[in-house]
């Protein structure tokens, strides 16, 4: 992946080339998901425990339940985590595929 070596143009000759770079947008979106301390902690927590009910995550953070729920929604939309309804509770876990995608993006830099 990333055949960047063949795109070594002067860059000043084609300014429009970088106008729409879907890769950069995907990357930025994924990076943005972990661009907040609370979300970093949530991701770490889920990686360390494999699965965690929403209420426990709320207890781990000094934030209101609604705020945590909002962060969880952001992480879910990025694909980094998944939520599974378990009765009245919701069990969250990491989505390894997206986590690998993030790692591949960063390591590809």
Partner DNA sequence: CTCGCCTATCGTAAATCAACGATAAAGGAA
Partner DNA sequence: TTCCTTTATCGTTGATTTACGATAGGCGAG
Q: Contact residues for a copy of itself (CB under 8 A)?
A: 4, 7-8, 11-12, 15-19, 21, 24-25, 27-28, 31-32, 34-41, 43-45, 47-49, 56, 59-62, 99, 102-103, 106-107, 109
Shortest distance (Å) from residue 55 CB to a copy of itself: 8
Query: Which lies closer to a copy of itself via its Cβ, residue 18 or residue 73?
Result: 18
**7: DSSP letter:** -
Positions in 2-31 near DNA (CB under 7 A): none
**Residues contacting 104, CB < 8 A, separation 6+:** 1
Could you tell me where the beta strands, DSSP code E, fall in the chain?
A: 52-53, 81-86, 89-94
Query: Which lies closer to DNA via its Cβ, residue 71 or residue 105?
Result: 71
End-to-end CA distance of the chain: 11
**Residues contacting 97, CB < 8 A, separation 6+:** 79
Kindly list the residues in this chain that would bind DNA in the complex (CB under 7 A).
35-36, 38, 53-55, 58, 62-67, 69-74, 83, 85, 87-90
């Amino acid at each position: 992946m990333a055949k960047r070596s063949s795109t070594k143009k002067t860059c000043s000759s084609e300014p429009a080339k970088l106008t729409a770079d879907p890769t950069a947008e995907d990357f930025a979106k994924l990076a943005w998901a972990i661009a907040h301390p609370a979300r970093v902690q949530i991701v770490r927590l889920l990686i360390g425990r494999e699965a965690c009910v929403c209420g426990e995550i709320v207890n781990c953070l000094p934030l209101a339940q609604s705020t945590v729920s909002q962060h969880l929604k952001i992480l879910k939309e990025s694909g980094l985590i998944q939520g599974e309804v378990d009765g009245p509770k919701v069990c969250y876990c990491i989505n390894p595929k997206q986590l690998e995608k993030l790692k591949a993006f960063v390591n590809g830099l």
